[in-house]
Amino acid sequence: MTFLDLRSIKLRSGEEYRDEQEVGLQPLILGGKRYVPVPEQVPAELVVTRATTGTVFELRLRVRLHGPCYRCLEDAVFERDLELREYQADSPGDSDELTTPYLANDRLDLSAWGRDALVLALPDKILCKPDCAGLCPVCGLDLNREPHEHAASGGDPRWAALAELRDRL
């Protein structure tokens, strides 16, 4: 996990601190399937700006997530540039909007921040291509590679599967 130790950064009002960081991201489990960030250590640009009444944190990173297509289970890639911003007031009072959940004991949790932002940026379904045809509900073959239909007139789908197999032999 990647943290930024704020005690090592002393800023006066109006000053900023810039750094290149590698942010470690954990694999995500979505719908029972595993999606892995590639690389797992994501190069990121971090800017910390000291304002009069608090501190602004900005993080820019490009994430790539590899995992199975929601429809056909072939490899799919999700890629996105993330530009994140959090604010921590010196005296936030009771307002959640003036604090960042990723800051605790002067340490900013860059990994948790990046992971949450990635999850929010994800589409409903990660697909190998937008028009992925998926798997045939009758025989399970990949409809992208072998587009086909089965006769709708009833029949036992197991026989259909055998017929498919026979055709392929």
Of 23 and 139, which has the nearer Cβ to Zn ion? 139
Judged by CB under 5 A, the residue of 2, 21, 57, 71 near Zn ion is 71
The window from 25-33, 44-52, 67-75, 79-87 that contacts Zn ion (CB under 5 A) reads: 67-75
Among 23, 69, 108, 118, interactor with Zn ion by CB under 5 A: 69
Q: Which two tokens stand for residue 25?
A: 């991201």
Secondary structure of residue 107 in the 3-state scheme: strand
By CB under 5 A, residue 72 contacts Zn ion: yes
Place of tokens 């994501």: 42
Question: Which of 23, 69 has the CB closer to Zn ion?
Answer: 69
User: How far, in Å, CA of 85 to CA of 14, rounded?
Assistant: 17
In angstroms, what is the minimal distance from the CB of 145 to Zn ion? 10
Q: Which of the residues 113 through 152 are near Zn ion (CB under 5 A)?
A: 128, 132, 136, 138-139
Residues forming the site for Zn ion (CB under 5 A): 69, 71-72, 128, 132, 136, 138-139
